[in-house]
Amino acid sequence: MRRVVVTGIGVLNAIGKNRTEFEQSLREGRCGIIPLTDPAHREFRFSNAAEVPNFNAADHFSLKEADMIDRFAQFAVVAAREAVAHSGIEWTSDLRENSAIVTGSCIGGQTTEDQGFFDVYKMGKPRVHPMTIPKTMANGGASAISLEFGITGPTFTIATACSSSAHAIGQAFHMVRSGMCDVAIAGGSEAPFSYGVLKAWEAMRVVSHDVCRPFSRDRNGMILGEGAAMLVIESYDHAQARGARPLAEIAGFGMSSDAHHITQPSAEGAAKAIRMALKDAAIAPEQIGYVNAHGTGTLVNDPTETRALHLAFGDHAKRLAVSSTKAMHGHTLGAAGAIESAAAIIALSTGILPATINFNEPDPDCDLDYIPNKAREAQVEYALSNSFAFGGLNAVLAFKSFS
Amino acid sequence: MNDDLTQRVLTIIAETQRKDPALVTIDSSFEELGIDSMDGVNIIFALENEFNINVPDEEVKNIKSIRDMVEGVRRLTDLQEKPTA
């Protein structure tokens, strides 16, 4: 099997309009949670979210282009452009034909759909916009990236709720590792701030009234976020042949399904995915130095994830550095696995482990080292990114430092 | 004592949980009825619709039993009937 490396990262979220800003914010522990900007979104039981500030499609697309794709697909293209530029890849006709695109999205373009349905149901309009279907489809981001670069290889989208983009990166990793393709663009994007979608989250009663405080005893829920991250993934040989400097190696990928409950997580299911990632990477638990946790900040997730880490790591769990960057960029749903993989790779390559910010007090049920409030300098060899979705679908990626 | 309000709450719980109404009493525990946290959120949604009330998130955290649900609905509907202003 071939070694697989990451050679480019593109990020767009509440704490960074690009990778450099994201890296700086992770280091500083900046919180991107703000009151929802749309006045129509101010009547929920929660009022804060991690929006991408001042995103203007016209800064990135011609108006005609922007009209053709939903905000979540615009995010996907912006992140993919940055990842490709960062990787230094130059597209040849051969490379375009053989490269893959795998994206993740939880809800696709439901903002567009919501507007169309509002028009017909509430406003009594007789028709919705003809672009409603193509803008809503969850593969809108993957298709837009394909059009952007003229890539004609295997291109598709994975929808596994909050694990979507972790599954997407894992799938792309397998495709490159097996030799099916040399290069893949993989990641995810999400833009969930429409009235109907916010109403649906309100109904679940899992969204915090103030901020996201993962693993802190006074945590009171998640904060919804939007954004995207894309990785350029390629075989080590391909990267080496073109003189590219890998940012990290993708060492392993583990997947599992809880078969337990449609919304409640299971420590056993999560632990299984972690164990499978370690097995796939052929590494011992003791080799993992940092875990970018799923860490949603809900009452149920954080102690369950802590139990999963105990189950998978045994005695080593107490020596792990664990943090949830969702306290900074919110829970970006289908983009979360990609944004947090980017955070884990940045941690490996810079030697700075991001903190769990907004952490107030330890919880006896969350008894690990969560890097509270302040980033930490530490060179670690391997890092994990955990994603545990509603529906019980777990995806864990293992990255190796390339220094 | 099963007054009308109690009976309506119990009926809603039985309907949302697809249970035989005879099995749902004010003293039933969530465990006996197999009600988990997501079921609880679904029941509260149905109660909000039935009684035209809004149950704040903070109140939801304190609901530990069927009796808490009945008393909570009673408190919120009483508030509606006797506005303090």
- Residue pLDDT tens, chain A, 403 long: 899 999 999 999 999 999 999 999 999 999 999 999 998 888 899 999 999 999 999 999 999 999 999 999 999 999 999 999 999 999 999 999 999 999 999 999 999 999 999 999 999 999 999 999 999 999 999 999 999 999 999 999 999 999 999 999 999 999 999 999 999 999 999 999 999 999 999 999 999 999 999 999 999 999 999 999 999 999 999 999 999 999 999 999 999 999 999 999 999 999 999 999 999 999 999 999 999 999 999 999 999 999 999 999 999 999 999 999 999 999 999 999 999 999 999 999 999 999 999 999 999 999 999 999 999 999 999 999 999 999 999 999 999 999 6
Query: For position B84, what pLDDT does the model report?
Result: 56
Contact A261 B41 (CB under 8 A): no
Query: Which of the pair, A250 or B61, is modelled with greater confidence?
Result: A250
Query: What DSSP state is assigned to residue B4?
Result: H
Tokens for A101? Answer: 């695109």
Residue A14 CA to residue A22 CA, distance in Å, equals 9
Cα-based distances in Å from B36 to A3, A266, B50, B71: 45, 14, 21, 19
> Does A261 touch chain B if contact means CB atoms closer than 8 Å?
yes
When scoring B16, B36, B37 by the number of chain A Cβ atoms within 10 A, the one with the most, hence best to mutate, is B37
Which has the closest alpha carbon to A354: A325, A384, A397, A382? A325
Interface of B with A (CB under 8 A): 36-38, 41, 44-45, 56-57, 60
Residue among A167, A238, A294, A329 flagged as catalytic: A294
Query: Which of the pair, A170 or B79, is modelled with greater confidence?
Result: A170
Residue B35 CA to residue B45 CA, distance in Å, equals 14
Minimum Cα–Cα distance from B60: chain A residue? A205
Mean pLDDT of chain B: 91
Query: For position B76, what pLDDT does the model report?
Result: 94
Query: What DSSP state is assigned to residue A217?
Result: T
Minimum Cα–Cα distance from A208: chain B residue? B57
Contacts 24+ apart (CB under 8 A), A113-118: A114/A194, A114/A195, A114/A196, A114/A197, A115/A194, A117/A196, A118/A195, A118/A196
Q: Which residue has the tokens 């696995």?
A: A337
Residue A222 CA to residue A383 CA, distance in Å, equals 23
Tokens for A270? Answer: 């999560």
How big is chain A by its Cα radius of gyration, in Å? 20
Alpha carbon of B61: minimum distance to chain A alpha carbons (Å): 10
A331 included as an active-site residue: yes
Q: Which residue has the tokens 């291109």?
A: A155
Tokens for A331? Answer: 């829970």
**Helix pair angle (A140-149, A71-87), 10° resolution:** 40
List chain B domain ranges: 4-69
Q: How many CB atoms lie within 10 A of CB A303?
A: 18
ipTM for the complex? Answer: 0.81
Contacts 24+ apart (CB under 8 A), A311-318: A311/A267, A311/A268, A311/A271, A312/A270, A312/A271, A312/A274, A312/A275, A312/A278, A312/A285, A313/A274, A313/A285, A313/A288, A314/A285, A316/A285, A316/A286, A316/A288, A317/A368, A318/A368, A318/A369
When scoring B48, B54, B57 by the number of chain A Cβ atoms within 10 A, the one with the most, hence best to mutate, is B57
Residue A120 CA to residue A125 CA, distance in Å, equals 5
**Phi, psi at residue A103, to the nearest 5°?**
-120, 160
Query: For position A183, what pLDDT does the model report?
Result: 98
Query: What DSSP state is assigned to residue A287?
Result: G
Residue A201 CA to residue A161 CA, distance in Å, equals 13
Which chain A residues are Cβ-neighbours of B60 within 8 angstroms?
Answer: 205
Which chain A residues are Cβ-neighbours of B16 within 8 angstroms?
Answer: none
Which chain A residues are Cβ-neighbours of B41 within 8 angstroms?
Answer: 203-205
Contact B41 A205 (CB under 8 A): yes
Query: For position A39, what pLDDT does the model report?
Result: 84
Overall fold of domain B4-69: 1.10.1200
Helix (H) or strand (E) holding A197: helix A195-204
Domains of chain A: 4-241 (3.40.47.10), 252-401 (3.40.47.10)
Residue A240 CA to residue A340 CA, distance in Å, equals 26
End-to-end CA distance of chain A: 22
Alpha carbon of B1: minimum distance to chain A alpha carbons (Å): 31
Residue type, A291: V
Contact B57 A262 (CB under 8 A): no
Contact B60 A45 (CB under 8 A): no
Query: For position A106, what pLDDT does the model report?
Result: 97
Cα-based distances in Å from A90 to A108, A221, A243: 29, 44, 12
Tokens for A337? Answer: 């696995």
Contact B57 A45 (CB under 8 A): yes
Alpha carbon of B56: minimum distance to chain A alpha carbons (Å): 8
Q: Cβ(A79)–Cβ(A339) under 8 Å? A: no
Across chain A, which distance is largest between two alpha carbons, in Å?
63
Q: Cβ(A312)–Cβ(A285) under 8 Å? A: yes
Residue among B36, B39, B68, B78 flagged as catalytic: B36
pTM of the model: 0.95
Query: For position B83, what pLDDT does the model report?
Result: 61
Query: For position A86, what pLDDT does the model report?
Result: 98
> Does A147 touch chain B if contact means CB atoms closer than 8 Å?
no
Which chain A residues are Cβ-neighbours of B56 within 8 angstroms?
Answer: 45
Q: Cβ(A228)–Cβ(A69) under 8 Å? A: no
> Does A284 touch chain B if contact means CB atoms closer than 8 Å?
no
Helix (H) or strand (E) holding A300: none
